[in-house]
Chain A
Amino acid sequence: MTITDIQNQIKATSARAVVENSIKLARENEQYHAILNLTEERALKLADEVDAGKITGKLAGVPFLVKDNFLAFGAPTTAASKMLEKFDAPLQATAVEKLEAEGAICIGKTNLDAFAHGGSTENSAYGPTKNAYDQSRVSGGSSGGSAVFTALNVVPFALGSDTGGSIRQPASFNGVIGIKPTYGMVSRYGVIAMASSTDTIGAFATNVSDVEMVMDIMSGLDPRDMTTMSDFFQVKTDAKPGQKIGLIKDFMTDDVDSDVRAKVNEYVEKLRAAGHTVEEVSLPMAEYALAIYYIIVPAEISSNLARFDGIRYGHRAESVKTLAELYGRTRDEGFVTENKRRIMIGSYVLSSGFFDAYYLQAQKARTLLINEFNKLFASYDLLIGPVAPTTAFKLGENTSDPIKMYLEDIMTVPASLAGLPAISVPAGFSQTGLPIGVQFIGPRQSDADLLALARSMETK
């Protein structure tokens, strides 16, 4: 289902009918547990205003979903945590505001790993989201709910955040398109911070044009986020012909599912058939990307989660006797195990005596990784490879082994660390019928080029 389909339905019936239908679909698919809270009352009110002509815009009346780590009205913003179970946001994220300014209507808040820590939504304090193609499997994550309900056509598009793969991997697991834009393209204002230096805001949709439209609306300089850049995103009519593409061979080793490799290779053949050149390239620093990521990101997480202390908002432990107990119990009760694990790793790598050995070393290695990317982009328009080493795994399969879970991120974290745009594009299905995505990674600000290429390949 595309945005255009929805717009036609609105013309034929009304915005209210379309929004009601989306909400009905959301309810009918409750078993996937993709949504934490619907924003029904507010959505219907806005739909009536669209029907009354009071709200106009490019997306007037088009329903969408928001990952529940975006501050948005209509229901609590929980970050899928007990910490913020009853937290009503007093303002909205820039991304949400921009979409609403074009008339789009948020109908609910989607499930995620609590505070976006994870790759399966199994770390949600409210239970996992199930895969759109197999309910015994994970949705991927952390933006699992948004991916699943986009795949199930509940809405034409949904918002997510991607810090190390949280949009791309669930997009791959559920057969939809997902984009992690260039760092700084979309404002992070109003999105609950995970890792400030790699957090990005992106979207899921079932076709490239819809992704382009949504990103075009959300992108641009925001005076409330100093890391945003002036708007460079401009939708390209056509993909550049005869592109030179590097296939990252470090991501095509025997450790990667053969089905995944097969589908990526098929996609490579299609690219060649379309007149592009694809060569194998090597990204040796990719081997260290996961280690770098799991030092820098927990460090930033431990800092960004420090504000959840039970003093001003959110959960506060009861019948405590001392301030230390208030902090300890509040944070123990409000965070899930994975949150605590990352806070502890982060606090450790930042502590005096370890900062130089871990954090600073990781930052230096990160620079080497960026240099390696830059070198490749001197010769190649973009790089491709798998999004994840596997298809969607079974619920509970990796929960007892955090390292195995972290390994799922191995192909998505390099682009995050380097601030590069990367998209996940459906590339077919495994022999067991599970979706597989292919990842495009481009130089900074090449977001529109990546999408144009993906669009040119949609019918091939």
Chain B
Amino acid sequence: MLTDEILEKYEMTVGIECHVQLATDTKLFSGADNDERDKSPNSVVSPIDYGLPGMLPVLNRGAVDLAIRAGKALNGKIAPISRFDRKHYFYPDLPKGYQTTQMYSPIIGAGVVHVALEGGELIDVRINHAHLEEDAGKLTHYGTYSLVDLNRAGTPLIEIVSEPDIHSALGAKAYATELYHLMTYAGVTRGDLYHGNMRFDVNVSAALKGSDKLGTRAEVKNLNSFRSVERATEYEFRHQVELLERGEKIVQETRGWDDAKQKTSSQRNKEDSQDYRYMPDADIPPIILSDEEITKIQADVPRLPGEWRKILGDLGLEYSQIETLIYAENEYRGKVAILDMVESVISDPAKAKFIANWNVNVFIPLLREDDFNLTNIDYFKLELTICELIEQNKLSSTNAKILFRELASADSLPDVENYAKEKGYLQVSDEDEIIKIVDEVLNNPSAVKAVEDLREGNDKAIGFLVGQVMRKSGGKANPVLAQKLIRERIK
């Protein structure tokens, strides 16, 4: 039985390889459609992807551009010259008998990813390199036979290879999550995890703390959710500690993760590992990139999560609020631009903070409601107008939320102020009108005790009186003004 005490004796070391499916229109080396979701088997396969004799690869420049963007997100240097190589093995999902990849000269060199752990602590995970390669097809086994679907064959990927800089399962999860944010923010991938747009291979080893050598590692392959990255890492570490405690040796092997059983199990060990017979691919000339080209492409990359964390932190937002925004940006990408709204008023910190907070507290919760549907209205304009009405004391925060919820579902955006006025949501800031209500409240017998308390210096009573004024005004009175007038009357 593993106790915390035993686990504490060991250091976990994790390195992660991540395959990211690039959001190109066509495949890495052919003109076939790159979006295989919901397509019937073998319907988006060109003669090139099919490995027909005589076919030659034609490199998709769009994939190169996305790799250049990914390089920025990974803080990695883009190689001025990179090349493609062939990795050979026989399997029915690999039509050419080799995978075209970058073994010797990858397009993205060493980099680093800053990962925020829960609570805000930052760890740096170094990137060894990242390379372009094509995906294989898919095999489905049916008892006595198997079927091949080549729709995914030739889909462009970048494989991001980290250094073993992670030392906890939560860290592994946070790193995987951060890669997801980086790759989606940089527009590199569609980020559809359900369809395997990002897949993680986790290399886990355990060694006694203080040891100067890493333990023998096992690789858990093909994890496609952040949670499975965390669970598989934790499971594999415990499994290895158990073996080590029993005095057994860890064998270098490839293991699979069973999501249903929440267990890893051996798939193949090093002895039957293949010799891939890598060789340069003579059909594809080297990718040669100039500094100007790289700079131009990277200039199009929008703000990345790291920068947003700093900006939002400087605006005074808390860790959890910031992460809510970072997530929501991805969650609603293509539907509504959560952080773009903040970007639009970035030069006005007060407004930027308002919009950021409004999104966290009002808009995102509304988005998450089951029966809410986005319309074509300009949500930024709506939020900005509400912000200005509040600044001008014309709208209470309570009514602001009501107003927003009503208009957020509208098919078109009316003049917001007029609409609020007609609906009676605007505050009354006319002193004559409010003084009438104040007098009514103060003259009411129910106010006697509060007035006395206030005179005796118990300031809490003012809240009750303002509340009465608000209620009588139907919520329209400007509460600040009401308070001022009550104090004047009682003096």
Residues of chain A at the chain B interface (Cβ within 8 Å): 70-71, 77, 79, 84, 87, 89-91, 93, 188-193, 195-197, 223-227, 299-300, 302-303, 305-309, 311-313, 323, 327, 347, 350-352, 355, 359
Contacts and interface: CB of A to CB of B under 8 A. Distances in A.
Complex A-B, nearest 7 residue pairs according to Cβ-Cβ distance, in ascending order: A306-B97, A197-B282, A350-B277, A196-B282, A307-B51, A190-B54, A192-B53
A90 B52 contact: yes
Contact of B50 (A226, A312, A347): A312
Contacts of B52: 90, 313
The listed residue with most B CB atoms (<10 A of its CB), out of A70, A299, A311, A351, is A311
B133 to A, nearest CB: 16
The listed residue with most A CB atoms (<10 A of its CB), out of B50, B51, B53, B282, is B53
Contacts of B88: 302-303, 306, 350
Contact of A91 (B47, B98, B284): B47
A312 B58 contact: no
B90 A327 contact: yes
B278 interface: yes
A227 B50 contact: no
B51 A303 contact: no
A33 B283 CA distance: 33
8 contacts: A189-B56, A193-B56, A303-B97, A307-B51, A307-B95, A307-B97, A309-B92, A313-B52
A224 B96 CA distance: 17
B148 interface: yes
B284 A226 contact: yes
B292 interface: no
B51 A312 contact: yes
Contacts of A303: 86, 88, 97-98, 277, 279
Given A227-B285, A303-B86, A306-B90, A192 B148 contact: no
B148 A302 contact: no
Contacts of B58: 223-224, 226
A222 B86 CA distance: 23
A87 B97 CA distance: 19
Interface of B: 47, 50-59, 86, 88, 90, 92, 95-98, 148, 275, 277-279, 281-285
Contacts of B277: 302-303, 347, 350-352, 355
A190 B47 CA distance: 10
Contact of B90 (A77, A309, A355, A359): A309
A204 to B, nearest CB: 20
A224 B279 contact: no
B53 A71 contact: yes
A226 B59 contact: yes
A188 B148 CA distance: 28
Contacts, number: 94
A300 B282 contact: yes
A312 B54 contact: no
Given A307-B95, A311-B148, A227 B283 contact: yes
Given A70-B54, A90-B52, 5 more contacts: A189-B56, A311-B95, A312-B51, A347-B277, A355-B277
A191 B57 contact: no
A267 B117 CA distance: 80
B472 to A, nearest CB: 78
Contacts of B51: 307, 312
A223 B51 CA distance: 18
A84 B53 contact: yes
Contact of B95 (A77, A93, A224, A312): A312
A284 to B, nearest CB: 26
Given A190-B54, A306-B97, A307-B51, A226 B283 contact: yes
A226 B284 CA distance: 6
A352 B96 contact: no
A142 to B, nearest CB: 16
A144 B325 CA distance: 70
A224 B92 contact: no
A306 B96 contact: yes
Contacts of A359: 279
Given A227-B283, A306-B98, A351 B92 contact: no
The listed residue with most A CB atoms (<10 A of its CB), out of B54, B86, B279, B284, is B54
A395 B346 CA distance: 83
Nearest to B277: A350
Contacts of A227: 282-283, 285
Contacts of A77: 53
Given A227-B283, A355-B278, A311 B56 contact: no
A225 B97 contact: no
A315 to B, nearest CB: 13
B43 to A, nearest CB: 15
Contacts of B55: 189-190
B227 to A, nearest CB: 34
A70 B53 CA distance: 9
Contacts of A327: 90
Contacts of A70: 54
A307 B283 contact: no
A79 B279 CA distance: 24
B92 A311 contact: yes
